[in-house]
């Protein structure tokens, strides 16, 4: 497997492990409870992440398929260059300003935490599948506009997915602390 694919899959797996730790910090019966009016519950955050990651996977799959898979092998692979670092994740991780999710990424407010987690697992499987399917191919020409960060290439979208999950991992920790204080 090409090191870029491995690096992206590792980036996603590391973030997922942290997310699962953050989810477990909220008592199971409270995962559907919002910590305050107008705030998301654990279930809502998981649903949002599943929708977002699923949309990223679908878009990358559509865009690579539409190109007819005529991509060359990766040739400009600069030794030691991090593909994750090709996307600046710092603005995604910065939670000093609240960002309103676009309509398509709003959570399913009726979804349970268990159902949202299952949807998130499926979305990750789809994204990992798209990454693996394009392993070793230079798909940097596959580009799509992000509503906040401008045009991102295939690899930057995958890196964004990992940083986005980490952003919401911090939100989950805040939700756990708020709900613990309400007991």
Cβ(109)–Cβ(38) below 8 Å: no
- Give the pLDDT confidence score for residue 81 in this predicted structure: 77
What total of structural domains would you count in the chain?
1
Instruction: Supply the CATH number for residue 109's domain.
Output: 1.20.120
Pairing of strands 143-146, 150-153: antiparallel
Q: CA–CA separation, 13 vs 98, rounded Å?
A: 25
pTM of the entire predicted model: 0.92
Q: Average pLDDT per run of 10 along the chain, which is 183 residues long? A: 93 98 96 95 98 97 76 59 90 92 94 98 98 89 92 96 97 95 75
Which residues constitute the domain of residue 93?
Answer: 3-30+39-181
Cβ(27)–Cβ(179) below 8 Å: yes
User: How many whole angstroms from its chain centre is CA 18?
Assistant: 13
């Amino acid at each position: 497997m090409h090191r870029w694919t491995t690096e992206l899959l590792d980036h996603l797996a590391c973030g997922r492990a942290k997310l699962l730790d953050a989810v477990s910090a909220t008592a199971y019966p409270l995962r559907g409870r919002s910590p305050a009016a107008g705030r998301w519950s654990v279930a809502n955050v998981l649903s949002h992440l599943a929708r977002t990651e699923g949309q990223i996977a679908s878009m990358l799959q559509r865009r690579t398929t539409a190109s007819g898979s005529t991509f060359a092998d990766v040739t400009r692979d600069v030794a030691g260059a991090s593909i994750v670092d090709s996307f600046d994740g710092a603005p995604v991780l910065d939670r000093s300003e609240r960002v309103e999710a676009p309509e398509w990424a709003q959570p399913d407010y009726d979804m349970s935490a268990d159902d949202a987690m299952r949807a998130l697992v499926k979305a990750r499987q789809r994204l990992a599948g798209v990454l693996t399917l394009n392993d070793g191919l230079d798909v940097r020409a596959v580009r799509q506009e992000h509503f906040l960060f401008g045009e991102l290439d295939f690899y930057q979208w995958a890196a964004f997915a990992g940083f986005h999950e980490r952003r919401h991992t911090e939100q989950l920790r805040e939700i756990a602390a708020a709900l613990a204080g309400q007991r």
